[in-house]
Amino acid sequence: MSTSSQIASLGEEFPDELPKQHEIVCGKLVRKAVAITDHGVLQGRIFSFLEPFYGKRNTPGGWWTCNDPEIEFFPKPNEHVYVPDLAGWKINVVPERPKGARVGICPQWVCEILSPSTAHRDKGVKKETYHRAHVEHYWLVAAEKQTLTVLAWAENGYQTVLTAGPGDRVRAEPFAERKLDLGWLFDFE
């Protein structure tokens, strides 16, 4: 049975583990963008940038980070199960590394790499869900525009704290201890 046939037959019943490249948005199973070369490069580079922050090291350390985690938001099952490109949990908030096929612990940082087919969700319903869940920092990385937008949680909605592009070297919250070179990030040659 093909993935699309499996999805069509799921109805309101969702598997414990989502089909590859899918997430649940507002109770509906939707396909994420198929990973393209630039998308995969960006995800890998951001993950490597985060390496010094990973684990219980003293400096800078203090984060559990993961690419493509399946995260369930809010207590209502199968309403908002997202698979962000990258997510991070502060160790002082979540002392043990989140494990399992589906994580029910809200991250403090999420990064989405925008694609034309899913950008509207990343900037719309997913952004609203992340805000309601109190995700402290939300990064939007646009491969086509070669920009990084960093949003910080505020009571009335996310506030843009940084917008940067190629050639910029920035200290992006919550990983401001280390400069991120956007020329390197977006160098696809």
Confidence category of residue 87, pLDDT binned at 50, 70, 90: very high
* Selection from 188, 189, 184 nearest residue 46 by Cα: 184
* CA dist., res. 15 & res. 29, Å (int): 11
Count of Cβ atoms closer than 10 Å to residue 62 Cβ: 19
pLDDT of residue 115: 86
Residue ranges of domains in the chain: 35-185
Q: Where are the beta strands (DSSP E) in 11-85?
A: 22-25, 28-31, 63-67, 71-72, 81-82
pLDDT digits (tens, 9 = 90+) for 25-38: 666 666 665 545 67
Q: Tell me the CATH number for domain 35-185.
A: 3.90.1570.10
Residue 19 has pLDDT above 80, yes or no: no
- The pLDDT score that the predictor gives to residue 22 is 57
Instruction: List pLDDT tens digits, range 117-140.
Output: 889 999 999 999 999 999 999 999
> Per-residue pLDDT for 1 more than 50?
no
pLDDT grade for 100, boundaries at 50, 70 and 90: confident
CB 63 within 8 A of CB 90: yes
